[in-house]
Structure 1
Amino acid sequence: MRYENPLYMAEDAGSADLISGGRLQLGISRGSPEQAVNGYEHFGHVPQEGATDADMARQHTARLLDVLGGEGFAEPSPSPMFPNPPGKLRIEPHSPGLRERIWWGAGTRATAQWAGEQGMNLMSSTLLTEETGVPFHRLQAEQIQLFRDAWTTAGHAHEPRVSVSRSVFPLVSKLDHQLFGRETASTDQVGHLDDGLARFGKTYAGEPEQLVRDLAQDEAVAAADTLLLTVPNQLGVDYNAHVLDSLLRYVAPELGWR
């Protein structure tokens, strides 16, 4: 969102949602560390004095949410060339309901709270840019609870949704063992990112029975209503279809996933 013109983005999102029959689930975030220094400035977006690029991203997001609601904000032209309905103009095309299908990718507990306050759904990946010494799944579960508490306090009318991401590889073939057998001993990792400590979640790899036991103990997976699976796209479509098929056959039914 550091790079986006929120009004132009609202037009594009409204168009995509109408074309798809109201099926768009739009995920947005501040953005990850990048190759260019202050790359957003080359697109004409400069934080206000005393503000950070993260502040600017949230400002852009707040503006996007405002106009997605469909309220008029622009004065209509009085020219007879433009016959307008009464009142102020809104962003067009407008897609009713899209405002409730915006997801914020939060990397901390604080930004998850902010997302809850704004009435956005929560996306939380396999990385949190903070470190408290507790396992990743527990830290992420704390993040989810803070999001839900903020949502309740804000009094939003619709129900919130929460997704978490995981790397999960059932080892059911010789190739699976060759590619991911070493990941069976995977653990959380702590490293430096954005001038601070960050915690990375582990990869789940193992025999299906072990994966069922391990994932059943993942507090964040239990707290979320949606699981996003990260796949090794460099291994190609066929292998990724095999991974998903293995999950659906051997893991999902045992955990009650639908």
Structure 2
Amino acid sequence: MKKIGFLSFGHWSEYDAYQTRSAADTLLQSIDLAVAAEEIGLDGAYFRVHHFAQQLASPFPLLSAIGAKTKSIEIGTGVIDMRYENPLYMVEDAGAADLISGGRLQLGISRGSPEQVIDGWRYFGYDLAHGETDADMGRRKALLFLDKLAGEGFAQPNPYPMFPNPPGLLCVEPYSSGLRERIWWGAASDATAIWAAEHGMYLQSSTLKYDESGKPFHIQQAEQIRRYKEAWEAAGHQRPPRVSVSRSIFALVNDQDHFYFGQQAGSVDKIGMIEADKRAIFGRSYVGEPDKLVEELAQDEAIQEADTLLLTIPNTLGVAYNVHLLSTILQHVAPALKWR
């Protein structure tokens, strides 16, 4: 059995074919889609976070709004770039959003992806420590975020406060119990997946990873997941691990589906470079009639290893069409694969 959610990049632009012409369109439609996804039985609503782009960026207002309008669906990110974050302020925002949702946040965080601008985190007021890389900074901030999510007091109280303090050191408020155990790390390499396991974070593995062996994407990703699970067990955590993988899966059941995605049928993995010096492998899209999808997806080793599948969606095509895409997978593909 698998949890199945959607993952939205939250694009908008003033293209005639887009249903999302503005940031307001994208934000409001994201809320509506999460509500509709819950109604059709989907398990999760996840959103990308990209700065300096016409895409979703600040996640917590959106997550809070979705949390207030839904009752059961998991609400998450994939991923928040920690280079841009103030970890303590993020603890406050995340705690508030989690309380509003009744404890349904599943926050994906990471070092982040290639940026729209050079060292964009500098414009947000952050800089590297001596001898530190930006990847080091992302992990340092992530560990501080995790530490403060635990809710233990660390700040010396003012002896003459505006309002009475409880005894002892103070922590960041609002505190949401259990959120520390619902943090995921987006890992592009085997090493960072192992690091995530050691620090008690769940694993998010996307549609690309560093090409570390030359094997097909789904096999490399499955090997990454197995190494993560081994590291989790070795670390002695008392709760079971969780792993999500993202996939672009489009079932062709009508003329509109064929028009939008038919030309992508038969796609294959691709090799490319990210950040100029890192060879990466990009996973294929799955496009075809439902019976063909069932046959092909049954061979995807990484999906078999994961407990959560995030379906990437074309949010620019509007809420109604995306509900159709997601419903088709739930009705015609997931049961045949025993995902549901």
Length-normalised TM-score, structure 1:
0.96
Aligned partners of 1:245, 1:150: CA distance in 2, in Å? 36
What SS is found at the alignment partner of 2:237? coil
Aligned partners of 1:83, 1:120: CA distance in 2, in Å? 35
What SS is found at the alignment partner of 1:254? coil
Tell me the CA shift for residue 82 of structure 1: 4.5
Q: 1:234 matched to which residue of 2?
A: 316
Give the counterpart of 1:244 among 301, 318, 326. 326
The sequence identity of aligned pairs, in percent, is 62
Larger radius of gyration: 1
Cα deviations by residue, 1:148-176 (Å, 9 ceiling, x for unpaired)? 11111111122211100000011111222
1:208 correspondence with 2:257: no
Aligned partners of 2:312, 2:284: CA distance in 1, in Å? 12
Aligned partners of 1:42, 1:26: CA distance in 2, in Å? 24
1:79 correspondence with 2:164: no
Length-normalised TM-score, structure 2:
0.74
Aligned partners of 1:236, 1:79: CA distance in 2, in Å? 54
Aligned partners of 1:3, 1:130: CA distance in 2, in Å? 26
Q: Highest relative contact order (Cα 8 Å, sep 6+), 1 or 2?
A: 2
**1:1-258 alignment to 2 at 5 Å?**
1-79=82-160, 81-194=162-275, 195-258=277-340
Quick one: which amino acid aligns to residue 93 of structure 1? P
In structure 2, relative to structure 1, the CA distance for the partners of 1:81 and 1:234 (3 Å cut) is: closer
Tell me the CA shift for residue 60 of structure 1: 0.4
Tell me the CA shift for residue 81 of structure 1: 4.4
Aligned partners of 1:156, 1:87: CA distance in 2, in Å? 29
In structure 2, runs of 5+ residues without a counterpart are 1-81
Per mean C-alpha deviation after superposition, the further-off stretch among 233-242 and 222-231 is: 233-242
In structure 1, runs of 5+ residues without a counterpart are none
- The structure richer in helix per residue is 1
Aligned partners of 2:211, 2:134: CA distance in 1, in Å? 18
What SS is found at the alignment partner of 2:334? helix
RMSD of the alignment, in Å?
1.3
Quick one: which amino acid aligns to residue 100 of structure 1? E
Aligned partners of 1:234, 1:39: CA distance in 2, in Å? 25
What SS is found at the alignment partner of 1:182? helix
- Count residues in correspondence: 258
Per mean C-alpha deviation after superposition, the further-off stretch among 62-71 and 229-238 is: 229-238
Quick one: which amino acid aligns to residue 236 of structure 2? G
Quick one: which amino acid aligns to residue 27 of structure 1? G
In structure 2, relative to structure 1, the CA distance for the partners of 1:42 and 1:172 (3 Å cut) is: same
Tell me the CA shift for residue 197 of structure 1: 0.5
Tell me the CA shift for residue 254 of structure 1: 0.2
Quick one: which amino acid aligns to residue 161 of structure 1? R
Cα deviations by residue, 1:60-113 (Å, 9 ceiling, x for unpaired)? 000000010111111112226453222211111111100011111111111111
Per mean C-alpha deviation after superposition, the further-off stretch among 77-86 and 40-49 is: 77-86
Quick one: which amino acid aligns to residue 201 of structure 1? G
Aligned partners of 2:161, 2:243: CA distance in 1, in Å? 48
